[in-house]
Amino acid sequence: MQKLKDLMRFKFFGVLSLFLIFATYLYAHTPDEGMWTFDNPPVKQLKEKYGFVPTQEWLDHVRLSSVRFMDGGSGSFVSPNGLVMTNHHVAVGQLQKLSTPEKDLVNTGFYARSYEEELKCPDLELNVLVEMENVTDRVLAAAKEGMSEEEALKAREAEIAKIEKESLEKTGLRSNVVELYHGGEYWLYRYKKYTDVRLVFAPERQAAYFGGDLDNFTYPRYDLDVAFFRVYEDDKPAQIKHYFTWNSKGAGENELVFVSGNPGSTNRLYTMAQIKFQRDYYYPLILDYINRRIAILEEYAKQGPEQERQALIQIFGLKNAQKALSGEYKGLLNEDIIATRQALEDELRTKIKSNPDWEAAYGDAWETISKLIDQYKNRVKPNFFRRIIGSRLASLALQIVRYTEEIEKPDGERLDGYHDSQLEERKFYLLSPAPIYKGLEKANLAGGLAMSLEYLGKDDPFVKMVLKGKSPEEVAKELIEKTKLDDVDYRKKLLEGGKKAVQKSQDPLIVLMRKIDPILREERDWYKENIEGKLTIANEKIAKARFAVYGKSAYPDATFTLRLAYGTVKGYPMNGTEAPYKTTLYGLYDRALSFDQKKDFWLPERFWNHQKDLDLSTPVNFVSTCDIIGGNSGSPVINKDAEIVGLIFDGNIESLVGRFIYNEKTNRAVAVHSAYIIEALRKLYDANKLVDEILGSATRAEH
Amino acid sequence: MQKLKDLMRFKFFGVLSLFLIFATYLYAHTPDEGMWTFDNPPVKQLKEKYGFVPTQEWLDHVRLSSVRFMDGGSGSFVSPNGLVMTNHHVAVGQLQKLSTPEKDLVNTGFYARSYEEELKCPDLELNVLVEMENVTDRVLAAAKEGMSEEEALKAREAEIAKIEKESLEKTGLRSNVVELYHGGEYWLYRYKKYTDVRLVFAPERQAAYFGGDLDNFTYPRYDLDVAFFRVYEDDKPAQIKHYFTWNSKGAGENELVFVSGNPGSTNRLYTMAQIKFQRDYYYPLILDYINRRIAILEEYAKQGPEQERQALIQIFGLKNAQKALSGEYKGLLNEDIIATRQALEDELRTKIKSNPDWEAAYGDAWETISKLIDQYKNRVKPNFFRRIIGSRLASLALQIVRYTEEIEKPDGERLDGYHDSQLEERKFYLLSPAPIYKGLEKANLAGGLAMSLEYLGKDDPFVKMVLKGKSPEEVAKELIEKTKLDDVDYRKKLLEGGKKAVQKSQDPLIVLMRKIDPILREERDWYKENIEGKLTIANEKIAKARFAVYGKSAYPDATFTLRLAYGTVKGYPMNGTEAPYKTTLYGLYDRALSFDQKKDFWLPERFWNHQKDLDLSTPVNFVSTCDIIGGNSGSPVINKDAEIVGLIFDGNIESLVGRFIYNEKTNRAVAVHSAYIIEALRKLYDANKLVDEILGSATRAEH
């Protein structure tokens, strides 16, 4: 008997070992990881893990139904009449620009009951990715044998500008060359562009952002973070062929779902030297910068309710960044994460070393990057603080000075951002009629100058030139009070007058920018010459090393271009227990009352007045393992039938380290449930017409 | 201007520094820490931090209204008619013992609508601490100059037994000498004892333990973890002078509250050597032991619903311990916590070293403990596994063998637990009519023997003697099937027959215990001789060192005796956001539906049938900074007016490390809100009569 038992125990451990090996295999090879380009979707993973094979038609439909918000965010078409869904927090900048002291759309929300009532946004551009072309060979061929790294970099930049210009001229489409895999590939992306975008619906911010900065980047959540716009062409609602249909039931637990959106940036392919630079130099600096900027804005907001309204969106953005970056920084301080990343790098480098050809071609790249970073370290502060921080007017001034100067050069020699193919976009923002608040500008500029002074010291040439021995407050007051750049017509006149008009201008901000632009360019040139050229070559080597070892089985770091993520709807271990895969309206009322409606946990009146009309078991938010990051805000969550089941609006706190590494166990994308959007629109906002359009039960004629 | 600004910044930092110093001072000196004895309440802290000075009358009233559950837990009187409130999970052992396969009180709950319907518990003893007397001098004086450490220990033990016996004979009260501050003080505690305790009310377990093992030791929570008993004297409800009145509003956010209960044990005064021993030897072993015992029981429970019912309470207890110990272990693995504890020890030792008298008297104690632990390390496994694990019948057999043997010795020479003053209690449990399940016994015994075999090896003398080469299953089957010890009358006969009857007995468990008791005693004697005596002396030195340095400004480690904790009702930072100070009934429904009522998140029918009757904004659970630990379960939470505002039932996951160190920022005691108990009793359980008694609106006559 004893022997039998021992055998059984052995068998048990045997099975366990097999299971562990299998689990490791599963984990190592098919976690729900990746932000995949549409030219290289994770077909193998989807087939093996979920038995689902997306057709080319499915992929094209999803891509063409997806929308990019140029000011940062994602969205999707949800009706044939140009209706676009995104997050309230993606829309909030436009909401503020459409608001006045008398009519604050951020705090009250907005609903257009007819096309006529829809509000035209001052400077919102939406993009649809209509074509993708691999231009890697052409870009790389621009750098000829014998060129220095800097020359090679410039040649490539010129070639990219040329490709973009040719494409724009040929197709009339927004044409951007995207660098993927840190230089491993270059793709020309062509976008259909919508610049007549009108606001259709937004809830009040308190419903969208219930829980405020505290609950931001956490889960369980209870947010109605949704807004609707409509794109127009020729002053009529655009007719859209590819749009997502709606599924009000949403996705069940463990169901396969997809996210199609524009993740901003990740650093998953960074070398350890780059990661440690981030940890030891970048994050401490950027977090200090953000904390100070928040303090400046909060001080300004204290002056009164109108000042508070003006500052709100900037504070919101900065606090969002503060929480995200703090979480990322915390991840970098975690030794396990550093060790895991180190192990991945060691594995790649060992494999490269094992093949003499690879070693000869790529082996020195890591050391090169490490040396470049050593060189850059001490230059970080001037690089960051030798500029005018925080003032929109100052930024407009600099852009006008550069615009008029750059357009006189051949296209290939211009600063990036001023190539022919980019000028239309540049003008769109330079001539935006969005309001500019001079009080806010003054506070921001004074605070920014004080930061530069503190970080660089009073003897720094940039600081000397800007302050001339005066205090930041004095300088900011003078510059902002006297400038006329808040007037769109004045900006237009300068642009049209070109370099001559700018050089004659006595506007104090223009005068200042004319003087300091050479210093800014010097900083930039130093970086290009000493760091960027060499870094680009080294990064390309590492990208090639990866392709050599792993093939194209990986996805590139995020680049604010369209990506497809996949995963399952699933809770996760949290704080000693489990977070559920979804929340319900019961939970919204619970969280409000748990805090006695204090802090950011109060509910707008309509939630109390209409509580009895609501089905409190309606799912509110849900989580999935989909791999996302900032920029994905507003992305649709769709099921296998490409129906909308939710709307991405956040990641949980455990996902913040996702900038560096994805962990399927706890990394979750947080979305608004499709059922809540319908329930809220109907019962809280009396927006039945909008619901009918979304659900496809209304034709255009009825609208 | 610039200068002014710099000055202001300087001032700001100056103020900040002052604030930090003050905050550190506050934190270092008055966190809401401590489990205080009633002879040394935290009067100074309460006065300074909260401006509240408890009178002696208040303290006496609170103490006399508090109840200890001898089988582990706390409670309180809540009516003049002997009504006692505690947790469902404290009551659940009795609920199981009162259940039958046909009538499962654990799963269905129970409510006695009249005294006649109240169910008498088979073996429940409740205590009220009526008198406390400092006997330190008398105990310490028992150890005479020239005695070895072991002799001194024995002399003190004999003196303690004598004090207890004298007191019992004189007062008739349960009399226990308690060692406080690890030997710094000895107190004689006298308890009024209730052994006729009857069950009045318990909800079904799913309402009490909603969220199950997953949510156990976490917060936010939604549990109705309450039960009511009544103590009887002379077959009539006992008339109680000191009981708590009820406050249905509960406590508001930031309100000062108190917990009066019996924390089981803490290790806050351990030396670093002891802490590291726990981390490296004790926790790995005990966690493995618990995991194995759970596996044994879960295997048994799979046999059928009745087996599942039998095993449930043991599994529950073990899983509770598993989660608690895992949390504690995790705390020990946290380097910050180790460093903090190290700093505290360093501070004390440095202060001792600074005074030559102190150094001479106490300075060697830490090193002594460290050496003792080195000696003990390798003996841990035999010490733990040379015994019969998990079988209640085996435990009864051993106690009967020892009882009959020990009572023939003079009181001072007996094993602890068999002194005259302890015999009544011993018999109470030995003759308990609570059911014993032979199937469960067999499974537990076989599993326990297998563990001893694995840890000690087949050549260990204990293992050899018990197994005689057979398998654990065979031995367990034989012993359990043939023993008659499940029959209370047989146990009674053996006890009454004394040593002679036991020696003649052919009952296989009695026979076995007669044989192995010498081995068990040998283990015990080795420990006493080599470790305990010396450890006691060293601990006493450290206790005296502490008194010398800090005075009696500290509280002793928990000893499952009555303590007073204080704190405020307050949320805490959790998982990137904040946990609210309370939860509501909305949240209960949310959590159930968030999991689609799966796992342990389903709600009993009555919660759906009566949902419309409930006020969903009723607070369910709440948290406070009060310093508690296991054993505090069932403790009343009271306000300054000594009114019940809640009922302790758990600590949050962050509180588990509280065994070693208290952290006010995140350590929280979790309680059932007084309002929920009333709302549930009235609207879900139709127990209006019980509510009337609690609220004092019913007189005894009406009942």
Model pLDDT, residue A71: 86
Are B185 and B136 in contact by the 8 Å Cβ rule? The answer is: yes
- Residues B330 and B503: their CA atoms lie apart, in Å, by 48
Q: For the residues B62-83, what does the mean pLDDT come to?
A: 97
Q: Comparing A331 with A571, which gets the higher pLDDT? A: A571
> Cβ–Cβ of B5/A450 closer than 8 Å?
yes
Model pLDDT, residue B20: 35
> With 70 as the cut, is the pLDDT of residue A29 above it?
no
pLDDT digits (tens, 9 = 90+) for A483-525: 999 999 999 999 999 999 999 999 999 999 999 999 999 999 9
Extract the tokens encoding B107. 């799963």
Q: How far off is chain A from B167, nearest CA to CA, in Å?
A: 46
Q: For the residues B87-98, what does the mean pLDDT come to?
A: 96
Extract the tokens encoding A459. 């003897």
- At residue B425 the predicted structure's pLDDT band, cuts being 50, 70 and 90, is confident
> With 60 as the cut, is the pLDDT of residue A179 above it?
yes
Model pLDDT, residue A9: 32
Residues 6+ apart with CB under 8 A from B519: B386, B461, B462, B465
Residue in A254, A336, A586 to test binding to B, most B beta-carbons within 10 Å: A586
Model pLDDT, residue B701: 35
Strand (E) or helix (H) holding A574: strand A572-574
- Residues A376 and A277: their CA atoms lie apart, in Å, by 10
> With 70 as the cut, is the pLDDT of residue A698 above it?
no
- Point out the residue among A214, A327, A589 whose CB comes nearest to the CB of B586: A589
Q: DSSP for A420-455?
A: HHHHHHHHHHHT------HHHHHHHHHHHHHHHHHH
> With 60 as the cut, is the pLDDT of residue A334 above it?
yes
Q: Comparing A699 with A541, which gets the higher pLDDT? A: A541
pLDDT digits (tens, 9 = 90+) for B1-26: 333 333 333 333 333 333 333 333 33
> With 80 as the cut, is the pLDDT of residue A20 above it?
no
pLDDT digits (tens, 9 = 90+) for B230-250: 999 999 999 999 999 999 999
Q: Give the phi and the psi of residue B632 in degrees, each rounded to 5.
A: -75, -10
Residue holding tokens 């960074």?
A270
- Point out the residue among B1, B450, B590 whose CB comes nearest to the CB of A584: B590
Q: For the residues A19-45, what does the mean pLDDT come to?
A: 71
> Cβ–Cβ of A591/B595 closer than 8 Å?
no
Looking at beta carbons, which residues of chain B come within 8 Å of A473?
1, 5
Q: For the residues A156-164, what does the mean pLDDT come to?
A: 95
Q: For the residues A457-481, what does the mean pLDDT come to?
A: 96
> With 80 as the cut, is the pLDDT of residue A26 above it?
no
> With 80 as the cut, is the pLDDT of residue A300 above it?
yes
Looking at beta carbons, which residues of chain A come within 8 Å of B220?
594
- Point out the residue among B323, B590, B596 whose CB comes nearest to the CB of A253: B596
Which chain A residue shows the shortest CA-CA distance from B652? A576
pLDDT digits (tens, 9 = 90+) for A351-382: 999 999 999 999 999 999 999 999 999 899 99
Q: For the residues B114-135, what does the mean pLDDT come to?
A: 97
Please give the share of chain B, as a percent, with pLDDT higher than 90: 90
Please give the share of chain B, as a percent, with pLDDT higher than 70: 95
Q: For the residues B191-196, what does the mean pLDDT come to?
A: 97
- Residues A699 and B259: their CA atoms lie apart, in Å, by 65
Mean pLDDT (chain A, rounded):
93
- At residue A14 the predicted structure's pLDDT band, cuts being 50, 70 and 90, is very low
Residues 6+ apart with CB under 8 A from A432: A122, A123, A488
The answer to whether the bond into B220 is cis (omega within 30° of 0) is: yes
Are B622 and B249 in contact by the 8 Å Cβ rule? The answer is: no
DSSP percent split of chain B into helix, strand, coil, nearest 5 = 55, 15, 30
DSSP code at position A379: G
Are B579 and B585 in contact by the 8 Å Cβ rule? The answer is: no
Which chain A residue shows the shortest CA-CA distance from B449? A2
> Cβ–Cβ of A471/B2 closer than 8 Å?
yes
> With 50 as the cut, is the pLDDT of residue A23 above it?
no
Strand (E) or helix (H) holding B348: helix B335-353
Q: For the residues B107-136, what does the mean pLDDT come to?
A: 97
Looking at beta carbons, which residues of chain A come within 8 Å of B589?
584, 586, 616-617
Q: DSSP for B383-449?
A: HHHSS--S-HHHHHHHHHHHHHHHTTS-GGGSPTT-SHHHHHHHHHHHT------HHHHHHHHHHHH
Distances (CA, A) of B58 to A14, A162, B254, B544, B562: 63, 87, 22, 30, 15
- At residue A551 the predicted structure's pLDDT band, cuts being 50, 70 and 90, is confident
Which chain A residue shows the shortest CA-CA distance from B324? A576
Are B175 and B190 in contact by the 8 Å Cβ rule? The answer is: yes
Question: Number of A:B CB contacts under 8 A?
Answer: 108
Q: How far off is chain B from A335, nearest CA to CA, in Å?
A: 13
Q: For the residues A591-609, what does the mean pLDDT come to?
A: 98
Q: How far off is chain A from B630, nearest CA to CA, in Å?
A: 17
- Residues A574 and A624: their CA atoms lie apart, in Å, by 15
- Residues B7 and B545: their CA atoms lie apart, in Å, by 47
- Residues A282 and A660: their CA atoms lie apart, in Å, by 14
> Cβ–Cβ of A471/B5 closer than 8 Å?
yes
Residue A83 sits at the vertex; the CA angle it makes with A82 and A84, to the nearest 5 degrees, is 110
Q: DSSP for B531-575?
A: IIHHHHHHHHHHHHHHHHHHTT-S-PPP-SS-EEEEEEB--EEET
DSSP code at position A278: I
Q: Give the phi and the psi of residue B119 in degrees, each rounded to 5.
A: -105, 130
Q: For the residues B95-124, what does the mean pLDDT come to?
A: 96
Query: Can you tell me whether residue B184 is helix, strand or coil?
Result: coil
Neighbours of B56 (CB within 10 A): 9
> With 90 as the cut, is the pLDDT of residue B644 above it?
yes
Sign of the four-CA dihedral A148, A154, A157, A162: negative
Q: For chain A, how big is the Rg over CA atoms in Å?
A: 26
> Cβ–Cβ of B587/A583 closer than 8 Å?
no
Model pLDDT, residue A425: 87
Are A215 and A600 in contact by the 8 Å Cβ rule? The answer is: yes
Q: How far off is chain B from A212, nearest CA to CA, in Å?
A: 10
Sign of the four-CA dihedral A3, A8, A12, A14: positive
pLDDT digits (tens, 9 = 90+) for B343-363: 999 999 999 999 999 999 999
Q: How far off is chain A from B635, nearest CA to CA, in Å?
A: 23
> With 60 as the cut, is the pLDDT of residue B593 above it?
yes
Q: DSSP for A309-371?
A: HHHHHHHHHHHHHHHHHHHHHHHHH-HHHHHHHHHHHHHHHHHHHTSHHHHHHHTTHHHHHHH
Distances (CA, A) of A574 to A665, B215, B259: 10, 10, 28
DSSP code at position A486: T
Question: Following CA atoms A466, A467, A469, A472 in sequence, which dihedral angle do they give, to the nearest 10 degrees?
Answer: -170
Q: Which of B412, B396, A430, A344 is nearest to B404 (CA)?
A: B396
- Residue length, chain B? 703
- At residue B27 the predicted structure's pLDDT band, cuts being 50, 70 and 90, is very low
Q: How high is the ipTM of this complex?
A: 0.90
Model pLDDT, residue B336: 87
Model pLDDT, residue B652: 97
Are A197 and A121 in contact by the 8 Å Cβ rule? The answer is: yes
pLDDT digits (tens, 9 = 90+) for B516-549: 999 999 999 999 999 999 999 999 999 999 999 9
Are A239 and A612 in contact by the 8 Å Cβ rule? The answer is: no
Question: Do the strands B245-246 and B643-651 form a parallel or antiparallel pair, or are they unpaired?
Answer: parallel
Q: For the residues B576-596, what does the mean pLDDT come to?
A: 98
Helices B149-171 & B533-550 angle (0-180, nearest 10): 80
Which chain B residue shows the shortest CA-CA distance from A656? B576
Question: Do the strands B185-194 and B174-180 form a parallel or antiparallel pair, or are they unpaired?
Answer: antiparallel
Model pLDDT, residue A15: 34
Q: How far off is chain A from B218, nearest CA to CA, in Å?
A: 6
> With 90 as the cut, is the pLDDT of residue A700 above it?
no
Q: Which of B51, B38, B35 is nearest to B662 (CA)?
A: B35
Strand (E) or helix (H) holding B261: strand B256-261
What 3 state SS string does B274-331 have?
HHHHHHHHHHHHHHHHHHHHHHHHHHHHCCCHHHHHHHHHHHHHHHHHHHHHHHHHHH
Residue B230 bridge partners (DSSP): B83, B198
Model pTM score = 0.91
Distances (CA, A) of B529 to A334, B155, B517: 46, 13, 18
What 3 state SS string does B606-656 have?
HHHHCHHHCCCCCEEEEEECCCCCCCCCCCEEECCCCEEEEEEEEECHHHH
- At residue B378 the predicted structure's pLDDT band, cuts being 50, 70 and 90, is confident
Neighbours of B659 (CB within 10 A): 25
Model pLDDT, residue A552: 84
Looking at beta carbons, which residues of chain A come within 8 Å of B575?
218, 574-575, 653
> With 60 as the cut, is the pLDDT of residue A18 above it?
no
> With 50 as the cut, is the pLDDT of residue B272 above it?
yes
pLDDT digits (tens, 9 = 90+) for B211-233: 999 999 999 999 999 999 999 99
Sign of the four-CA dihedral B90, B94, B97, B98: negative
